[in-house]
Copies of this chain bind each other. A is one copy, B any other.
């Protein structure tokens, strides 16, 4: 066996920020070197950020990315880091390629490169391209067909990228046949509830399949609707967990591994059947044949995963913080109604940005209960956020002087006047508007277009109302707890009166959600089965949902599609949300159950 100290840099790049991302690589490679690592690895598409979507089709962006990689290699050497092999994801194109109709313009590659002594030592690209859910990689990448196997201090290290691990055959299979001692996998794997369990099982299974240890380095941070949770993992050849990074924070996972010494294979290229209908060329390169002298092993980090509510809450905080920050904002504004949704959003914002950067507007109307204002004021006081009151009665009167609106039209008028106020204050003061809508509302269309649904970012867009309450209660239990994604409030940040009250839009006298929607305890599981699990009408009934209710909810969800097209983005946390991974036609007469 040969010893090897590897460092997995679980870091937070920004899409398109080539210089900033290169700075991150240099900074974290230096940390890895300082920690005595023999190899440092960064996530998939680290240099460009992920996902770049259609930017991959713009030739000037691909060229800039290629140039950035060359410059990075030289810079690492220039800063004394040339002897440390650095493996990073980037955007590349093949030197020559056969262009076929329907292939992405410029043949972009989701690539990995080994950098060493100022040079790009070896290049490869993702073989299995995901094209489902939030992924559209057939659209923007062509497939790679090479597996680098690099001998580092006498250990053969193979590299693969993300989806290569999730599909059968391809790089995992070939790594096994090539006799690799370590399979290094670069990832940009977005967070989904419960995905941490799946991911560990997958790493273990693939390690056993390839017959070698597996190191999985993942990105962390928010990018539009996606949140990358980190959770980098190292498992042994038998699938046993050796090291694991904490979720939702940047982290350098350093681990000392005992790995099999490389066999007699010589440098060079060999085509191998990839057992997926394709051939992959093994590209063997030797950096250093001799194992490092024996050294004492350092203790490994094995972070425990967060519990379910903590994990969701952390994703919302990180997604909100990064959207605000990466778009160049420092502060946010939101309407604070005294209800649970805006209360939770204000708290997430305080945790993400600090209470001093949160601006609340209280917008009472003739239908607002007294409790609404006092509860909101209590929250403002507990969290120390900025707040002002803007009564809307005069504005409503001015519209009603010219227009004769009734029922829903009159209710929507108030919601749109409120949006006009917070958009005006946003334009005047440069705060990003946070929107309070939750997934139950968004699913059923229980909101006003250009009213309460208006804003720049919607932190709880992918959270059902039942979970909104759970998160609020959970957050209150964390007052005084020291977690990296929580502001240290001394007191429960959300008043119990807000958590306990019956939900109401307060747009007409005595209005209650329950007048328009089923009880959330019944509605939310039905929505989860219809929206997230894609069950049809009959399958919903077979799963135990009331047939009449299923028909009603299916109709609400289908008819609200047009509203969701105009909804601001928010962090994705479930298997399917209303963003890019649920792209249904607006115009459709298809109805479940006829």
A408-B427, A536-B60, A569-B565 given; A15·B397 CB < 8 A: no
Residue interface bits A344-359, CB-to-B below 8 A is 1, else 0: 0000000000000000
Is A391 touching B402 in the complex (CB atoms < 8 A)?
yes
Distance A224 CA – B403 CA, assembled complex (angstroms): 31
Q: Cβ of A490 < 8 Å from any Cβ of B?
A: no
Q: Cβ of A398 < 8 Å from any Cβ of B?
A: yes
Is B402 touching A427 in the complex (CB atoms < 8 A)?
no
Q: Cβ of A405 < 8 Å from any Cβ of B?
A: yes
A538-B60, A590-B17 given; A565·B568 CB < 8 A: yes
Distance A58 CA – B428 CA, assembled complex (angstroms): 46
Is A424 touching B398 in the complex (CB atoms < 8 A)?
no
Residue interface bits A312-342, CB-to-B below 8 A is 1, else 0: 0000000000110011000000000000000
Q: Cβ of A139 < 8 Å from any Cβ of B?
A: yes
Distance A416 CA – B20 CA, assembled complex (angstroms): 37
Is A420 touching B399 in the complex (CB atoms < 8 A)?
yes
Give the distance to chain B from A424, nearest Cβ to Cβ, in Å. 5
Residue interface bits A109-146, CB-to-B below 8 A is 1, else 0: 00000000000000000001011100010110000000
Give the distance to chain B from A55, nearest Cβ to Cβ, in Å. 6
**Which of A242-250, A286-294, A439-447, A448-456 lines the interface with chain B?**
A448-456
Is A420 touching B421 in the complex (CB atoms < 8 A)?
no
Q: Cβ of A499 < 8 Å from any Cβ of B?
A: no
Is A584 touching B55 in the complex (CB atoms < 8 A)?
yes
Distance A364 CA – B298 CA, assembled complex (angstroms): 74
Is B139 touching A132 in the complex (CB atoms < 8 A)?
yes
Is A61 touching B15 in the complex (CB atoms < 8 A)?
no
Q: Cβ of A390 < 8 Å from any Cβ of B?
A: yes
Residues of B within 8 A of A131 (CB): 102, 131, 138-139
Residue A589 contacts which of B20, B403, B417, B419 (CB distance < 8 angstroms)?
Answer: B20
Give the distance to chain B from A361, nearest Cβ to Cβ, in Å. 10
**Which of A23-31, A161-169, A233-241, A460-468 lines the interface with chain B?**
A161-169
Among A395-434, those with CB < 8 Å from B are: 395, 397-399, 401-406, 408-409, 412-413, 416-417, 419-421, 423-425, 427-428
Residue of chain B at shortest CB distance from A539: B60
Residues of B within 8 A of A588 (CB): 14-17, 49, 55
Give the distance to chain B from A246, nearest Cβ to Cβ, in Å. 24
Copies in the assembly, this chain: 2
Residue A450 contacts which of B404, B450, B562, B589 (CB distance < 8 angstroms)?
Answer: B450
Residues of B within 8 A of A326 (CB): 587, 589
Is A456 touching B562 in the complex (CB atoms < 8 A)?
yes
Residues of B within 8 A of A394 (CB): 398, 401-402
Q: Cβ of A148 < 8 Å from any Cβ of B?
A: no
Residues of B within 8 A of A224 (CB): 585-587
Is A409 touching B427 in the complex (CB atoms < 8 A)?
yes
Is B399 touching A397 in the complex (CB atoms < 8 A)?
no
Is B421 touching A403 in the complex (CB atoms < 8 A)?
yes
| Most B-side CB within 10 Å, residue of A100, A419, A534, A592 | A534
Give the distance to chain B from A104, nearest Cβ to Cβ, in Å. 7
Is B398 touching A412 in the complex (CB atoms < 8 A)?
no
Residue A168 contacts which of B101, B569, B592 (CB distance < 8 angstroms)?
Answer: B101
Q: Cβ of A473 < 8 Å from any Cβ of B?
A: no
Residue A397 contacts which of B14, B60, B398 (CB distance < 8 angstroms)?
Answer: B398
Distance A15 CA – B391 CA, assembled complex (angstroms): 45
Among A26-76, those with CB < 8 Å from B are: 48-49, 51-55, 57-61, 63-64
Distance A61 CA – B536 CA, assembled complex (angstroms): 8
Distance A223 CA – B566 CA, assembled complex (angstroms): 18
Is B427 touching A405 in the complex (CB atoms < 8 A)?
yes
Is B403 touching A585 in the complex (CB atoms < 8 A)?
no
Distance A537 CA – B64 CA, assembled complex (angstroms): 12
Is A101 touching B450 in the complex (CB atoms < 8 A)?
no
- In order of increasing CB-CB distance, the 10 nearest A-B pairs are A60-B536, A16-B590, A17-B589, A409-B427, A398-B398, A16-B588, A409-B428, A138-B138, A395-B398, A101-B167
